[in-house]
Structure 1
Amino acid sequence: MTAIAQGRTRRATRMTALCALAVTGLAALTGCGGDEDPDAGTNGVGKLPPARIQAKTRAAADAAPTVRLSGTVVTSGRTYTLDMRLKDDGGTGSVTSQGATFRLLRVGQELYLKADADFWDHTDGSDGATGKLDGKYVKVPQGDPAYKKFSGFTDKDVLLDGLLTLHGTLAADGHHTDGSGTRTIRITGDKGSGGTLDVSLQGTPYPLRLVRAGHAGTLRFSDWGENFTVTEPPASETVDYGKQLPTS
Structure 2
Amino acid sequence: MTIMKIGSITGTAIVLASAVALSGCGGNGDSDAKDSPAAASSTSTGNGVEALTGQEILDKARAALKDAKSYHVAGSMVEEGDKTTIDLKIAGEDVVGHVTTKDGKIELLAVGQQRFFRPDPAFWTAQGAEGKTVAKAIGDRWVKVDPSDTSSADMFSITNIEDALKNEGTVAKGETKQVDGKKAIALTDSADGKDGGVLYVATEGEPYPLRLDGPTAADGSLAFTEYGETFADLKVPAAADVVDLKDLGK
**If the length of structure 2 is used for normalisation, what is the TM-score?**
0.69
Aligned to 1:205, the other structure's residue is in SS state: coil
- Correspondence list, 1:175-190, <5 A: 175-178=176-179, 180-190=180-190
User: Which 5+ residue runs of structure 2 have no aligned equivalent?
Assistant: 1-40
Where does residue 58 of structure 1 map in the other structure?
62
Q: Percent sequence identity over matched residues?
A: 29
Whichever residue aligns with residue 182 of structure 1, its letter is K
Cα distance change, pair 79–228 in 1 and its aligned pair in 2 (3 A)? same
- Correspondence list, 1:231-246, <5 A: 231-241=235-245, 242-243=247-248
| 2:215 aligned with 1:210 | no
Cα contact 1:168–1:194 (8 A) shared by 2: no
Query: How far is the alpha carbon of 1:212 from its aligned partner?
Result: 6.0
Cα distance change, pair 170–135 in 1 and its aligned pair in 2 (3 A)? same
Cα distance change, pair 92–240 in 1 and its aligned pair in 2 (3 A)? same
Query: How far is the alpha carbon of 1:233 from its aligned partner?
Result: 1.1
Q: Distance in 1 between matches of 2:156 and 2:134?
A: 22
Q: Distance in 2 between matches of 1:76 and 1:108?
A: 35
List per-residue Cα deviations over 1:27-68 (Å, max 9, x = no partner).
xxxxxxxxxx77463323222222221222222112111111
- Correspondence list, 1:162-181, <5 A: 163-178=164-179, 180-181=180-181
Q: Distance in 1 between matches of 2:81 and 2:147?
A: 25
Q: Distance in 2 between matches of 1:217 and 1:128?
A: 35
Cα distance change, pair 76–112 in 1 and its aligned pair in 2 (3 A)? farther
Compare 200-209 and 189-198 and name the one that shifted more. 189-198
Cα contact 2:137–2:248 (8 A) shared by 1: no
Whichever residue aligns with residue 182 of structure 2, its letter is T
Cα contact 1:117–1:133 (8 A) shared by 2: no
Cα contact 2:103–2:126 (8 A) shared by 1: no
Query: How far is the alpha carbon of 1:140 from its aligned partner?
Result: 2.3
Cα contact 1:69–1:85 (8 A) shared by 2: yes
Q: Distance in 2 between matches of 1:47 and 1:99?
A: 45
Aligned to 1:203, the other structure's residue is in SS state: coil
Cα distance change, pair 213–159 in 1 and its aligned pair in 2 (3 A)? farther
- Correspondence list, 1:182-201, <5 A: 182-190=182-190, 193=195, 195-201=197-203
Cα distance change, pair 151–110 in 1 and its aligned pair in 2 (3 A)? same
Q: Which has the higher strand share?
A: 2
Whose RCO is larger (CA < 8 A, sep 6+)? Answer: 2
Compare 226-235 and 118-127 and name the one that shifted more. 118-127
Q: Higher Cα Rg: structure 1 or 2? A: 1
Aligned to 1:227, the other structure's residue is in SS state: coil
Aligned pairs, how many? Answer: 203
Q: Which has the higher helix share?
A: 1
Cα distance change, pair 51–221 in 1 and its aligned pair in 2 (3 A)? same
